[in-house]
Structure 1
Amino acid sequence: MIVAFSVAPVGPQHVGDAVAECVRVVRESGLPNETNAMFTNIEGEWDEIQAVLKQCIDVCERYGPRVSLVMKLDHHPGAGHEHSLAYKKDRVERALQDPTA
């Protein structure tokens, strides 16, 4: 399972510190992940990912009275590793290099 998510406290403060703490939580989880300007992608079993998301929500609660979470989930049971973060990204890169592939 791959989840793309964005989480942040809602309020007047700058959210950069809270987001950085959440990215640290994700990286320390040991699950495959990558962060870009808009989302963090994480790969694992639902229970593992849910625990990480809960930790991120807990972090954001320290920065504001409300938390916003946007999540997109790719659940492909039985797919194994052929649909991992790395595979999907590599497949697009190969297609860009050789449009006939």
Structure 2
Amino acid sequence: MLVAFSVAPSGTSDADGSVGHAVAEAIRVVRASGLPHRTDAMFTTIEGEWDEVMAVIKSATDAILTTSPRCSLVLKADIRPGVTNALDTKVETIDRYLAD
């Protein structure tokens, strides 16, 4: 399964409105997980089995909660049993269509 998620502290931020420091702690958790992942400006997408992906998302949320008493979490999942390497193959499929 693929899960695109975003976590951010609510109610607190740096003086300039940035939540980057807190989000970096959550991304540190994702990177340490060893699961395939990709981070962009808005979401982190992680690939794996349900229990392992959800455990990483919970740990990333907990990392935010160490910096703030409140956390916002957004999830979008693509659940396709038996499919692996979707993090790359979904993009490759679109690229093939664009090349036509």
TM over 0.5: yes
Question: Stretches of 4+ moved more than 6 A in 1?
Answer: none
Partners of 2:12 and 2:81 in 1: CA distance: 41
Aligned with 1:65 (options 51, 69, 72): 69
- Which runs of no fewer than 5 residues in structure 1 stay unpaired? none
Cα shift at 1:12: 2.9
Residues matched between the structures, number: 96
Q: Which residue of 1 aligns with 2:12?
A: 12
Partners of 1:76 and 1:96 in 2: CA distance: 24
Aligned with 1:44 (options 34, 44, 48): 48
Matched, 1:86 2:88: yes
- Which runs of no fewer than 5 residues in structure 2 stay unpaired? none
What percent identity do the matched residue pairs reach? Answer: 55
Partners of 2:52 and 2:25 in 1: CA distance: 18
Alpha-carbon deviations, 1:54-81, whole Å to 9, x = none? 1111111111111100000111113x32
